[in-house]
Amino acid sequence: MILILFGPPGAGKGTQCDILEQKLGIPKLSTGDMLRTAVASGTPVGKKADLIMKQGKLVPDEIVIAIIANRISVPDCEKGFMLDGFPRTVTQAEALDAMLAENGLAINKVVAFDVNEEELLKRILKRAAEAGKNKRADDDPDVFKKRMADYKKSTEPVLAYYQARNLAAHVDGMRAIDDVTAQIERLIK
Ligand code: AMP
């Protein structure tokens, strides 16, 4: 099972992936998490991504495509995986299709989270408050605006790309966490 959890920052993709990892027994592949680890370890990729992420901009396609290509070749992905935060551009979506096709694989479902912008900002601020000293540099109202602008410009077209191939389905991401999980489970049954 190859799933894409798709939606704006703060929609709950990461939270649902964490729950579904246990339920479905497939790993969560979060480019955001992998990039934050690279930044914290000071790798060459981390050094390139650090400022871009702090500004709420998108890391160049070739960097995230290479990260995902490496990650899906790890044996724990053999039974499938969930993508959180990737693809974020049509170029990334096309690259993903090509790398899956090379291995005789294809995406099963793209789960799009519907959450209004006011609620997204509320959740980002809550996540920042709860993280205290470990707060993400990009969980900030001004950076959120930039992330949303990039989402609308570069990432929303990715949904149309999957809709054209009948792969996308929507969940009401405004509902309680358990309810959203149940909606996703119904979609992928
Ligand atoms: P996230 O944890 O998914 O919100 O990602 C945090 C930040 O990492 C984003 O704002 C981008 O700067 C960067 N990032 C994560 N995934 C991608 C991606 N697929 N393409 C470009 N940049 C990404």
Q: How far is the centre of ligand 1, averaged over its atoms, from the C-alpha of 160 (Å)?
A: 20
36 lines ligand 1 (CB under 6 A): no
Residue type, position 149, single letter: A
Quote the pLDDT of residue 167.
98
53, 91, 146: residue to mutate for ligand 1 pocket, most atoms within 8 A of CB: 53
At 44-76, the pLDDT tens digits run 999 999 999 999 999 999 999 999 999 999 999
Q: How far apart are CA 28 and CA 81, in angstroms?
A: 6
Quote the pLDDT of residue 38.
98
Quote the pLDDT of residue 116.
96
Distances (CA, A) of 94 to 66, 70, 158, 171: 13, 16, 10, 24
**Ramachandran region of residue 30, left (φ > 0), alpha (ψ -120 to 50) or beta?**
beta
pLDDT-derived band at 180 (thresholds 50, 70, 90) equals very high
Quote the pLDDT of residue 159.
98
180 lines ligand 1 (CB under 6 A): no
Q: How far is the centre of ligand 1, averaged over its atoms, from the C-alpha of 32 (Å)?
A: 5
Catalytic residue status for 123 = no
5, 51, 59: residue to mutate for ligand 1 pocket, most atoms within 8 A of CB: 59
At 74-107, the pLDDT tens digits run 999 999 999 999 999 999 999 999 999 999 999 9
- Going by CA atoms, what residue is nearest to atom 14 of ligand 1? 32
pLDDT-derived band at 128 (thresholds 50, 70, 90) equals very high
Catalytic pick among 28, 36, 71, 88? 88
- Going by CA atoms, what residue is nearest to atom 6 of ligand 1? 32
Supply φ then ψ for residue 2, to 5 degrees.
-115, 115
CB 33 within 8 A of CB 136: no
The Cβ-side half-sphere exposure at 60, using a 13 Å CA radius, reads 8
Q: How far apart are CA 77 and CA 95, in angstroms?
A: 18
pTM: 0.96
Q: How far apart are CA 53 and CA 59, in angstroms?
A: 7
Q: Which residues contact 164 (CB under 8 A, 6 or more apart)?
A: none
Q: Express as a percent the part of the chain with pLDDT over 70.
A: 100
Quote the pLDDT of residue 170.
98
